[in-house]
Structure 1
Amino acid sequence: MNTPALDRRGFLRATALAGALPLLPSLAGTAAAPASAIAAASGAALPAPAAWRLRPFALADVSLSSGLFEDKRALMLDYARGYDVNRLLQVFRVNAGLPTLGAVAPSGWEGLDGEANGNLRGHYTGHFLSMLSQAYASTGEQVFADNISTMIGALVECRQALNRSPSVRSVPGRFGTAVESQRGSYEFAQLPTTVLGGAAELTFAAWVRPSHGAAWARIFDFGNDTTRYMYLAARNQNGLPRFAITTGGAGREQGINANVALPVGEWSHVALTLADTVATLYVNGVVAGRNTAMTLGPAQLGQLRNYWLGQSLYPDPVYAGAFDDVNLWSRALTDAEVAALRTQPASAAPAGRGDLASYDLDEPDGQVLHDFSGRAQHATWLRTWGGPSHPGFLAAYPETQFITLETMTASNYFVVWAPYYTAHKILRGLLDAYLATGDLRALDLAEGMCDWMYSRLSKLPAATLQRMWGIFSSGEYGGIVEAICDLHALTGKAEHVALAKLFDLNRLIDSCAGAQDILDGLHANQHIPILTGLVRLHDETGEDRYLAAARGFWNMVVPARMYSIGGTSTGEFWRVSGRIAGTISDTNAETCCAHNMLKLSRMLFFHEQNPKYMEYYERALFNQVLGSKQDKADAEKPLTTYFIGLTPGHVRDYTPKQGTTCCEGTGMESATKYQDSVFFAAGDGSALYLNLFVASTLRWAAKGVIVEQSTAFPVEQDTRLTISGNATFDLMVRVPAWVGPGFAVAVNGKALKLDAVPRTYLRVARTWRSGDVVTISLPFTVRTEAALDDRSLQSLFYGPVNLAVRDASRSYLSVGLYRNAALSGDLLPSLTPVEGKPLHFTLDGRELAPFHEGTEDPTHVYFRRSEPIVVFGGRDSGVANPVRANGVSLLDELWSGAPYGSKTELLKKLESLTSSWVTDGLLSAGDRSTILATAKCAQFVP
Structure 2
Amino acid sequence: MAPPLSRRTLLQTAVLAAAAPGISYGMSGGRAVAATVPAPSAWAVRPFELKDVTLGQGLFATKRQLMLDHGRGYDVDRLLQVFRANAGLSTKGAVAPGGWEGLDGEANGNLRGHYTGHFLTMLSQAYASTKDVAFKDKIGYMVGALSQVRTALRGDPRMLAVTGKFGTAQENPRGSYQYVDLPATVLGGASAITLSAWVKPTHNANWTRIFDFGNNTTKYMYLAARNASGFPRFAVTTNGPGGEQGLDGTAALPLNQWSHLAVTISGSTGTLYVNGAAVAQNTSMSLNPAALGTLANNWLGRSNFQTDPVFAGAFDEFNVWSRALTAAEITALQSGRASATSAGRGNLASYDFFETSGGTFADASGRGLTATLRRTWGGPSHAGFLAAYPETQFIELESMNSGDYTRVWAPYYTAHKILRGLLDAYLHTDDARALDLATGMCDWMYSRLSKLPDATLQRMWGIFSSGEFGGLVEAIVDLYAISGKAEHLALAKLFDLDKLIDACAANTDTLDGLHANQHIPIFTGLVRLYDVTGEARYLTAAKNFWGMVVPQRMYGIGGTSTAEFWKARGVISGTISDTNAETCCAYNLLKLSRTLFFHEQDAKYMDYYERTLLNQVLGSKQDKADAEKPLVTYFIGLKPGHVRDYTPKQGTTCCEGTGMESATKYQDSVYFTKADGSALYVNLYSPATLNWSAKGVTVTQTTDYPREQGSTITVGGGSAAFELRLRVPSWATGGFQVTVNGSAVSGTPAAGSYFTIPSRTWRSGDVVKVTIPFRLRVEKALDEPSLQTLFYGPVNLVGRNSSTSYLSFGLYRNAGLSGDLLPSLTPVSGKPLHYTLDGTEFAPFHEGSEDPTHAYVRRSEPKVVFGGTDSGVANPAKSDGTTLLDEIWAGAPFSSKSALVTRVQSTVESWVTVGLLAQADGQKVVTTAQNASYAG
**Residues 1:577 and 1:20: Cα distance change in structure 2 (over 3 Å):** closer
**SS of equivalent residue, structure 1 residue 675:** coil
CA contact (8 A) 1:218 1:318 kept: yes
2:544 is the counterpart of 1:552: yes
Distance 2:694 2:33 in 1: 19
Distance 1:870 1:228 in 2: 86
CA contact (8 A) 2:25 2:46 kept: no
**Residues 1:155 and 1:872: Cα distance change in structure 2 (over 3 Å):** same
In the alignment, which of 135, 150, 154 is matched to residue 163 of structure 1?
154
Range that drifts further, 814-823 or 197-206:
197-206
Q: Which amino acid aligns with 1:142?
A: V
The equivalent residue for 1:520 is 512
The equivalent residue for 2:231 is 240
CA contact (8 A) 1:21 1:43 kept: no
The equivalent residue for 1:319 is 311
Distance 1:557 1:488 in 2: 29
Distance 2:711 2:64 in 1: 21
**SS of equivalent residue, structure 1 residue 854:** coil
Matches within 5 A, 1:642-657: 642-657=634-649
CA contact (8 A) 1:740 1:781 kept: no
Distance 2:312 2:347 in 1: 27
The equivalent residue for 1:12 is none
CA contact (8 A) 1:591 1:644 kept: yes
2:726 is the counterpart of 1:727: no
**Residues 1:21 and 1:602: Cα distance change in structure 2 (over 3 Å):** closer
Range that drifts further, 901-910 or 225-234:
901-910
Distance 2:455 2:222 in 1: 41
**Residues 1:579 and 1:851: Cα distance change in structure 2 (over 3 Å):** same
Distance 1:43 1:236 in 2: 57
Distance 2:190 2:271 in 1: 17
The equivalent residue for 2:385 is 393
Q: Deviations over 1:480-507 (max 9, x none)?
A: 1001000010011100000001111111
Q: Which amino acid aligns with 1:937?
A: N
2:160 is the counterpart of 1:183: no
In the alignment, which of 822, 843, 866 is matched to residue 872 of structure 1?
866
In the alignment, which of 746, 749, 765 is matched to residue 742 of structure 2?
749
2:828 is the counterpart of 1:821: no
Distance 2:800 2:924 in 1: 36
Distance 2:422 2:841 in 1: 45
Distance 1:74 1:685 in 2: 32
Matches within 5 A, 1:276-295: 276-295=267-286
**SS of equivalent residue, structure 2 residue 668:** helix
Matches within 5 A, 1:92-111: 92-111=83-102
2:659 is the counterpart of 1:667: yes
**SS of equivalent residue, structure 1 residue 595:** helix
2:80 is the counterpart of 1:86: no
The equivalent residue for 2:753 is 760
Distance 2:192 2:495 in 1: 56
Deviation at 1:912, TM superposition (A): 2.5
In the alignment, which of 453, 458, 461 is matched to residue 466 of structure 1?
458
2:660 is the counterpart of 1:695: no
Q: Which amino acid aligns with 1:763?
A: T
Distance 1:160 1:395 in 2: 12
The equivalent residue for 1:362 is 354
**SS of equivalent residue, structure 1 residue 466:** helix
Distance 2:377 2:66 in 1: 41
Distance 2:913 2:712 in 1: 52
CA contact (8 A) 1:43 1:434 kept: no
Deviation at 1:331, TM superposition (A): 2.5
Q: Which amino acid aligns with 2:858?
A: R
Range that drifts further, 246-255 or 823-832:
246-255
Q: Which amino acid aligns with 2:191?
A: A
CA contact (8 A) 1:162 1:389 kept: no
2:204 is the counterpart of 1:210: no
Distance 1:718 1:889 in 2: 34
2:268 is the counterpart of 1:274: no
Matches within 5 A, 1:42-191: 44-191=35-182
Distance 1:892 1:22 in 2: 50
2:380 is the counterpart of 1:380: no
Range that drifts further, 129-138 or 761-770:
761-770
Deviation at 1:939, TM superposition (A): 1.3
**Residues 1:87 and 1:494: Cα distance change in structure 2 (over 3 Å):** same
**SS of equivalent residue, structure 2 residue 568:** coil
CA contact (8 A) 1:42 1:436 kept: no
CA contact (8 A) 1:164 1:388 kept: no
In the alignment, which of 622, 628, 646 is matched to residue 620 of structure 2?
628
Matches within 5 A, 1:437-836: 437-724=429-716, 725-767=718-760, 768-836=762-830
Matches within 5 A, 1:402-441: 402-441=394-433
Distance 1:806 1:69 in 2: 23
The equivalent residue for 2:7 is none
Deviation at 1:198, TM superposition (A): 1.8
RMSD: 1.8
CA contact (8 A) 1:93 1:158 kept: yes
In the alignment, which of 300, 318, 321 is matched to residue 329 of structure 1?
321
Deviation at 1:388, TM superposition (A): 5.9
Q: Which amino acid aligns with 2:552?
A: A
> TM-score under structure 1 normalisation?
0.95
Q: Which amino acid aligns with 1:594?
A: A
CA contact (8 A) 1:42 1:438 kept: no
Deviation at 1:25, TM superposition (A): 4.8
Q: Which amino acid aligns with 2:620?
A: S
Q: Deviations over 1:259-313 (max 9, x none)?
A: 1221101111111122333222111111111222223332332332101100012
**Residues 1:573 and 1:18: Cα distance change in structure 2 (over 3 Å):** closer
Deviation at 1:887, TM superposition (A): 1.2
The equivalent residue for 1:32 is none
Q: Which amino acid aligns with 1:716?
A: E
Q: Which amino acid aligns with 2:906?
A: S
Distance 2:877 2:662 in 1: 44
**SS of equivalent residue, structure 1 residue 676:** coil
Unpaired stretches in structure 2, ≥5 consecutive residues: 1-19
Q: Deviations over 1:219-253 (max 9, x none)?
A: 11111222222211101121111122223322332
Q: Which amino acid aligns with 1:743?
A: F
Q: Percent of counterpart pairs with the same letter? A: 66
Distance 2:820 2:380 in 1: 68
Q: Deviations over 1:127-163 (max 9, x none)?
A: 1111111111111111111111111111111111111
**Residues 1:612 and 1:387: Cα distance change in structure 2 (over 3 Å):** closer
Distance 1:482 1:22 in 2: 18
Distance 1:620 1:24 in 2: 28
Distance 1:827 1:615 in 2: 21
Distance 2:164 2:137 in 1: 36
Distance 1:262 1:850 in 2: 55
**SS of equivalent residue, structure 2 residue 920:** helix
CA contact (8 A) 1:740 1:778 kept: no
**Residues 1:506 and 1:18: Cα distance change in structure 2 (over 3 Å):** closer
Q: Which amino acid aligns with 1:186?
A: Y
Q: Which amino acid aligns with 2:738?
A: V
Q: Deviations over 1:600-654 (max 9, x none)?
A: 0000000011111111111000000011111121111111111101011111111
Q: Which amino acid aligns with 1:222?
A: F
Deviation at 1:856, TM superposition (A): 1.1
Deviation at 1:384, TM superposition (A): 1.1
2:913 is the counterpart of 1:919: yes
CA contact (8 A) 2:513 2:566 kept: yes
Distance 1:823 1:69 in 2: 33
